[in-house]
Amino acid sequence: MIRLVRTRSGEDVVAEIEENEDTVTLENPAQLMPMGSPTGQGMQMGFAPWIPFAGTAKVKVDIPRDYIVFIIEPAKDIVNNYRQAFGSGIVVPDVQVDTQSLLTE
């Protein structure tokens, strides 16, 4: 599952995670970075590899639980952007279906 992890050092890391008893495994971790917008107004978010000098594109890291402040579900647009950049590329559209009207037609 893709989660946002805040570390004790203050980094916000998005990754596929697996929680274990003493550690949390981060797969393909990416640091969430604020960036200025091209127009100079407002703020955008971008991703940077959390371990940029790793010898492989696919990174798996075990982090001690006491190094993690919290783990939360990120916003849907962050998940979609992460999947496009680091994962399956599958984007989940934000669509709501009115099932009640489907049943009455």
What was the pLDDT predicted at 42?
Answer: 74
CB-based contact 25:60 (threshold 8 Å): yes
45: domain range? 2-99
What was the pLDDT predicted at 34?
Answer: 82
Confidence (pTM): 0.76
Start-to-end CA span in the chain (Å): 37
CB-based contact 99:87 (threshold 8 Å): no
The Cα angle at residue 81 between residues 77 and 86, in degrees rounded to 5: 145
Query: Is pLDDT larger for residue 70 or for residue 92?
Result: 70
Distance CA 51, CA 48 (A): 9
**What's 40's domain CATH number?**
2.30.30.100
Flag whether 105 is in a domain.
no
Task: Write out pLDDT tens, residues 52-89.
Answer: 888 877 899 999 999 999 999 999 999 999 998 886 65
Flag whether 59 is in a domain.
yes
What was the pLDDT predicted at 58?
Answer: 83
What was the pLDDT predicted at 63?
Answer: 96
Flag whether 104 is in a domain.
no
- State how many domains the chain has: 1
Flag whether 26 is in a domain.
yes
pLDDT at 6 over 60: yes
